[in-house]
Amino acid sequence: MRVIIDGDEHVFSGDIGTKEELFSGVKEEVARRGRVVRSIMVDGTVLEEEAFLALAGGGEARFETVPVRELVMDSLSEGTKYMGHLSAGLSKVADMLEADKTVEGLGLLQQAAEGIGWSLQVMHNCQILLGISDNEIGDGKVGELKTSLVGELEKASSSIENGKPLELSFRIRTGVLPGIQRLAQYMEALLETGRKAIQ
């Protein structure tokens, strides 16, 4: 299979037998350039990574890349916007629980929990890629916040298990929501730190 990376043909020095080996070789090559793969196109069709790895044939694979720092800045920018939606969603969950709409509230809470997990993962990954530790962000207490937020989520989970929707609403308003709002500030601070590092 012919391999094109950012418009230039790439020839591997060793044998490439499988799609996994090919993709691994491409990732290593672009990592040496400080970049990551953004898109894969095989014979004119855009594919996700899983589809590419499962593909049996193909004559030409084109890989478009983006600088790691640009990807990090895009991810953090998207993350900071999302945090506002997450806060609004958590407030809505608390409102529903207080209005005796427990089933709807718990359904929305499930989505919010996934969003919290996604936000923490984005922040963690971006910190690694930028080489910035918890104590270098804002007032340096983001690590403490992450720990306390996990604790608040565990308390909220306990309220769910014990069938106490009003207690859950209270835990969301007094523990989870303030934690998410502080996390949003840290994510914004991380984004600003990343921008300064570029200039």
DSSP 6-32: TTEE---SS---SHHHHHHHHHHHHHH
pLDDT of residue 198: 55
Rounded to an integer, what distance in angstroms lies between the CA atom of residue 39 and that of residue 146?
Answer: 32
pLDDT tens-digit map of 103-132: 999 999 999 999 999 999 999 989 888 888
Give the number of other CB atoms < 10 A from CB of residue 122: 19
Considering the chain, what is the average pLDDT of its residues?
Answer: 91
For residue 199, pLDDT over 50 is answered with no
Q: At which residue do the structure tokens 């709409």 appear? A: 101
Contacts of 74 (CB under 8 A, 6+ apart): none
